[in-house]
Amino acid sequence: MTTEPDAIFIGAGHNSLACACHLAARGWSVEIFEQASEPGGAVKTGAYTLPGFRHDWAAMNLSLFAGSAFHTEHSEELAKHGLAFAPTGNPFASVFPDGRWLGISNDPAITKARVRGFSDADAQAWQDLTDGFPDMADSIFAVLGSPMNLRAFSSLGWKTWRKRGGGGTLDLARFMMMSPRPWLDQTFQSDHVKATLAAWGMHLDFAPDIAGGAVFPYLEAMAGQAFGMVLGQGGADTMTRAMIKMIEARDGKVHCNAEVTAIEQAGGRATGITLADGRFIGASKAVIANVAPSALMKLTGGTGDTRHETAMTSFQHAPGTMMIHLAMDALPDWSAPELKRFAYVHLAPSMDQMARTYAQAKAGLLPDEPVIVCGQPTVVDPSRGPAGKHVLWLQVRMAPGEIKGDAAGTIPDRNWQDAATPFANRALDILERYAPGTRAKILGQHIVTPDMLQADNPNLIGGDQVCGSHHLHQHFMNRPARGFADGSTPIKHLYHTGAAVWPGGGTGAGPGTLLAKKLVGK
């Protein structure tokens, strides 16, 4: 007789894996079912161009995972199962059309000196932010790591009030609701400094004028200076592989090529899942769905709660992303040789350009000048390529999931199969302007369009890598819906996790960890 597992997971993304690890460590039996041929969701690595070159499919930066509550608790065991990081003290930089550049390094004196090269007043503002970061970080991370239920939120509010006082608490709330542009305009004078920080908002879906976005450029700048950045040794999939081994060490199972077609219910309670091959798999304690909100509705046929169903069906996604993986004979020849030391180089010349790019993508247009995030992982981790060779990891932000037109008026195609190459060439043309001769160094290329990202991982609707907009109307206690930000659903024993659930996207495994602690009480 086969014993039902305590918990069944739909999807093997890193939030599912983290939740399953934590539950298994507390004695739960777990099984995970993944529709794709390999686990990891957006966090996986492969030889997508040429043999010997290892490319991160989507996520590259593992700093959030390295600093997460999950990793803090399970770091020793994960290391035994092969988790290894590749740290860098030069996390990111921006280069500009006039040849100038600004890089953030974890030597505060060096970074401040670079900022002073643009403005003495900005150097003082940078010093003030640096001095205040430890206190601000405590308060901000307390919010971002807190369960979004009324009891926890009330307790957090009271603790913050006691620590910061009434005025300080209101100032913090104001800052966390600000859009990037007004905060940057109030803080700095140089447009170069402003653009360097504003580029981080584009990693989520916070263009310069979107409320709630200021906190992300602030945190990335200050945390990058304080802690540097962490990549996965050999590839981002080091975290995926280590968590799977941790699960299997406790007799848990991860099944790939196992599509779930329905969540079964009886008496208002989730009882298990049905697979595409017709098999029913029961769960004694929990069915945990790491899926986009719309998929939750399809799998359940409805949750029986009108407000919850409305939130799931109307859940909004961010614009998409195109990925371009390049095997390189050498690194780009940037205008400043120092840029070859940085993990990320942003090609995002101004806040106005970022705002225009975002608006064009939201309107369904291929942006005339998309933001380019140029990852240089082999600078940090040479093991990802053959000796003397390099990998470039290009994120083209933003890109519409459904093409309605071309802002530049030169690409007539309205489907990604035909538009992929000309739009990728537009991005590579931009890179070539900043680093002439880069194209001649390309040994192999693999383009991943928004619809390819969604086909590989149905949670990435329209190529949205963060599984849903983080705008205020569906963030904090509203992610994915008011009253359900803790992973609960209206159906007993059915839980929701993944980037669509608070605290949202990124590699920090917050949704999975918070849900696991909710289920086991610690």
Joined tokens for residue 44: 């996986």
DSSP 316-369: ----EEEEEEEEESS----SSGGGGG-SEEEE---HHHHHHHHHHHHTTEEPSS
> Are the beta carbons of 329 and 437 closer than 8 angstroms?
no
Among 124, 51, 53, smallest CA distance to 382 is for 53
Among 229, 228, 230, smallest CA distance to 238 is for 230
How many whole angstroms separate alpha carbon 326 and alpha carbon 392?
5
pLDDT in the model for residue 1: 42
> Are the beta carbons of 483 and 490 closer than 8 angstroms?
no
> Are the beta carbons of 502 and 4 closer than 8 angstroms?
no
pTM: predicted TM-score of the whole model, two decimal places? 0.96
How many whole angstroms separate alpha carbon 141 and alpha carbon 143?
5
DSSP 354-418: HHHHHHHHHTTEEPSS-EEEEE-HHHH-GGGSSTT-EEEEEEEEEE-SS--EETTS-----SHHH
How many whole angstroms separate alpha carbon 29 and alpha carbon 24?
6
CA distances from 185 to 20, 105, 350, 376 (A): 44, 23, 12, 30
- What is the assigned CATH class of domain 7-43+58-84+235-315+468-520? alpha beta
Q: pLDDT tens digits, the chain, 522 residues: what are they?
A: 468 999 999 999 999 999 999 999 999 999 999 999 999 999 999 999 999 999 999 999 999 999 999 999 999 999 999 999 999 999 999 999 999 999 999 999 999 999 999 999 999 999 999 999 999 999 999 888 888 877 777 787 778 888 888 888 898 999 999 999 999 999 999 999 999 999 999 999 999 999 999 999 999 999 999 999 999 999 999 999 999 999 999 999 999 999 999 999 999 999 999 999 999 999 999 999 999 999 999 999 999 999 999 999 999 999 999 999 999 999 999 999 999 999 999 999 999 999 999 999 999 999 999 999 999 999 999 999 999 999 999 999 999 999 999 999 999 999 999 999 999 999 999 999 999 999 999 999 999 999 999 999 999 999 999 999 999 999 999 999 999 999 999 999 999 999 999 999 999 999 999 999 999 988
pLDDT in the model for residue 151: 78
Residue ranges per structural domain of the chain = 7-43+58-84+235-315+468-520, 109-201+209-230, 316-456
Joined tokens for residue 472: 């205020």
